[in-house]
Each structure stands twice: as C-alpha cells, then as structure tokens.
Amino acid sequence: MNDSFFGVWRDIRRARKQGLKAIQQRQRKRLAEMVAFARANSPYYRDLYKGLPDHIEDPTMLPVTDKKKLMARFDDWVTDRDVTIEKVRPFVENPDLFGKQFQGQYLVITTSCTTGTRGIFLVDQRSLSVFGSLFLSMLRAWLGARDISRIVKNGGRIGLLLASGTPTITGVSITRFGSYLGKAMRSPSVHMPLPELVAELNKFQPAVLMSYGTMTKLLAGEQEAGRLRISPVLTIITAEGLALDEYDRIAGAFSTKVGNLYAASECPFMSYCCEQKWLHINADRVVVEPVDANYQPVSPGQTSHTVLISNLANRVQPFLRYDLGDSILERPDPCPCGNPLPAIRVQGRAADMLTFPTERGGQVTLPPLLFGTSVYHIPGIEQFQIMQTAPAYLRVRLRPLDGADPDQVWQTLYNNVTQLLREHKLEHVKLVRAEEPPEQSPGGKYREVIPLS
C-alpha cells in the first residue's frame, strides 16, 4: 500500500467513488492488517490476543482496551522498542517542544483526564498522511468553487486560535505547517484579553477561522455586537462540540460556512460534518462501534453508553477496540446530504463557558480549554479539576503523580492559572486548593473544568 500523502489521497477518492461496500472491504482488510501488526510488534497485544484466530476482520472478536490499561503498559504497548515512557514524559512536559518531532519521527500529543488517566500518544508519519488527506477531503466537501475563489482573493489567510499545548493533532499539525504559510497564517494567543483578540482579528481579516467551539461562540457574540468585523469564508470548529442551533448562529453572525470535526487524540480523523449537521465517519480508516454499558452493540437510532474505536492508521501505538468514553447516536437511515458514509451525532461534547464578574460591574467569559491549556504541561500532575463554586471563586482538586512534590505542583498550577486570570483583569478571582481529590461525574467521567451551575 502507498502510505504517502498522495497515495492515501488517491485511495480515499477511489473508495468514495466506489461506494460503501468498497469502504467496508477496506475497513475489514485494514483491521486484519493492524491486528497482525500489533501482535507481531507490541508485547502488550501479543499477550492480549493470545488464543485468538490468526486472521481477524471482525472487531467484536477482540477484547476491549482503554486509556488506563494502555498507559499502565506503555512500554509494552508501543511497537517501537526505542520508545519508553521515561523518554517521552520529559518531552511532553516541555512546552517549547510543542509541535516538534520526538526522536525525529513522531508527534506527541496528550489527552485530558476525563476518564481518570492522562494519555500520552505518539503519531507516526502514516497517520499524518491519512489525516492530511482526509482533511483535504473535508475541505472539498465544505467548499465550492466560489468559496475557494473567495479564499484566494482574500489572500488565503488562516486565523488559528488554539492555545499552545492544545492536546489535539489538528492544532499540532497546522502549527507545524505555519512556516510554509508564512504571513498567510496568524495564530494569536487565545489567552489574550478578548478586546485585544478582536482587534488582532479585525486587522488580520482571516479568510478561514479555526478554533474551539466555545471560543468561536464568544467571537460570534463580538461579531453580533459590532466589535468584531470579519468575513471568513469558512469557520472550522475543533476540540469541542456544538449544540445544533449554534451552527446556525455562528453561520449567521459571520455569513460563513461552518465545519466541525469529531476527533480525538487517539484518532484525529474520525469524521466531519455535512450540511445536515451529521458527522460522517471515515469508515475506511477507522472502526466506530456504538455499544451499551456491557460493550454490546446498540442499534442505529439508539444512544450508546460509550463508543469503541479502532484506528486503522497509527502503527506506533495501535488503538484497537478502544473505549473512547463518548456517547453517540448513529443515524438509522441514509443521510439526506447523499454521503454514503455512516452518520452520527455526539452527545455531551459541547463545553460550557465560565463567566466572572469584573471589579467594574461587567463580565468576562472564558472557555474551559483556556484553563486546561494552562495546566496540561505542568510536570507531576496525574489529574486536576477546577471548579467555579462562586462567581469569583475557583476551587482546585489535584492528584499529583507518585513521587511528585504536591506543594511544588500546586504552586506551579497556581502561578499559571493566576497569570491567566491576570491577563483578563480578573486578579480578584480567588483560587484555592481543595483537600479532596478530583471526583467523577454521575456518568463516570472526570470533568476538568466545571463552570458555576
């Protein structure tokens, strides 16, 4: 198989033209190849799959994995014997290395602790080729010839609003290519005060705007109020979900097309939305299984308890029947948009804003990810939880890693978060350390940032 960018691109176009049957055939073939590769090169999977048939095309024959199990066996899980957790962890904890390659061949990204364990994941060149090709396919699905012409006339300027250290491959990949785009891409810090960010965007006038759902909602409010005056041809939402009515609000505020990616660090190319606001699964490159609490399949039209994914591209860290933790609903009938790929909607991935009073009687609203990206790269943190328990009061639950100095970890977190608050003129907001550890929600997940109810 040709794993180059153009080889993958040609295969994707060929598969889409041939229809769903050809896509399913590719999925079965690639799953069998990935299972065989994992068995041969990962001691973890060699033990896990002992006793299973040699050739497996049906994912339900495989045991379920999750982040906690895989991270506990990190050195045995990876298929590159030169990669160890002791080598990777210092690389992740150094923010100056964001977007750079580990050992000259892998991107390294981290996940949040919503399931109780932080993930450290490597992305190989094969995965990057698949991601880049599928991203191009998404753009072709969203944009017509007139849209592309408008983007070119506007200088092809891309406004990328993702915090440094964003735990998504989307942000990492595009940041890497910033040097090729030069002045056509600008990435102002989402940590800057909103009026300064608005002024920066007004000056830059991006033709394409890409950011978090919560940040885009904030900017749509500024556009509606007349303070922000930009006209992006395309607005792309990443890392967070949107309520269905928010698509129309953002599209109306900017007179733009809105694209949304459902992705995860474990599989950054899972799906993209159509004009009907359904997310279409790239089923030739990923297996997505909606299941109940006992990991049994649920029928299309029923909301799942969780979803199992098998990434069919990343070989350095195979994710096979991996419990992602999201609840999804699969469309039971063909999507009216005409796309033959399976269509889903994700339940509960839209993030809530944190709103604080100012000392002059106003309000400042911040997206939760601003707090997360202030904390993700602090050494010694296993898990954290920031709760807004009063309008100007934040309570931090913290679980340090074994061997870390809890007081030093807390002091670094305190400094980072108070700096974020200071940048937004919220010095009066009180940040306190809780005695209790992070707690699970009734659904079993750990919310890292919890706004005031």
Residue 114 reports pLDDT greater than 70: no
pTM of the model: 0.81
- The percentage of the chain sitting over the pLDDT mark of 70, rounded to a whole number, equals 90
Q: How confident is the model at residue 349 (pLDDT cuts 50, 70, 90)?
A: low
Helix boundaries (H) for 240-292: 244-254
Please tell me the predicted confidence (pLDDT) of residue 41.
Answer: 98
The highest-level CATH class for domain 5-128+266-347 is alpha beta
Write the CA distances from 193 to 319, 368, 414, 423, integer angstroms.
39, 15, 19, 6
Phi, psi for residue 158 in degrees, rounded to 5: -115, 125
Extents of the domains making up the chain:
5-128+266-347, 154-262, 354-450
Across all residues in the chain, what is the average pLDDT? 87
Please tell me the predicted confidence (pLDDT) of residue 177.
Answer: 47
pLDDT tens digits along 271-304: 999 988 899 999 999 999 999 999 999 999 998 9
The strand pairing partners of 355, in sequence order, are: 365
pLDDT tens digits along 220-249: 999 999 999 999 999 998 766 677 788 899
CB 35 within 8 A of CB 287: no
CATH topology of domain 354-450: GMP Synthetase; Chain A, domain 3 (3.30.300)
CB 354 within 8 A of CB 396: no
Please tell me the predicted confidence (pLDDT) of residue 360.
Answer: 85
Q: CA 274 from chain center: how many Å?
A: 19
pLDDT tens digits along 324-339: 988 899 999 999 998 9
| Domains 5-128+266-347 and 154-262 belong to one CATH topology | yes
**In angstroms, rounded to a whole number, what is the distance separating the alpha carbons of residues 328 and 305?**
8
Q: Coil, strand, or helix at residue 20?
A: helix
**In angstroms, rounded to a whole number, what is the distance separating the alpha carbons of residues 393 and 431?**
6
**In angstroms, rounded to a whole number, what is the distance separating the alpha carbons of residues 99 and 372?**
18
Please tell me the predicted confidence (pLDDT) of residue 290.
Answer: 96
Cα atoms found within 13 Å of the Cα of residue 20, Cβ hemisphere only:
10
- Please state which CATH number belongs to domain 154-262: 3.40.50.980
Average pLDDT in the 152-175 region? 62
Residue 353 reports pLDDT greater than 90: no
pLDDT tens digits along 189-205: 777 888 999 999 999 99
Tokens of 322: 């991996």
- The larger pLDDT score, comparing residue 31 to residue 129, is at 31
Tokens of 72: 């506990």
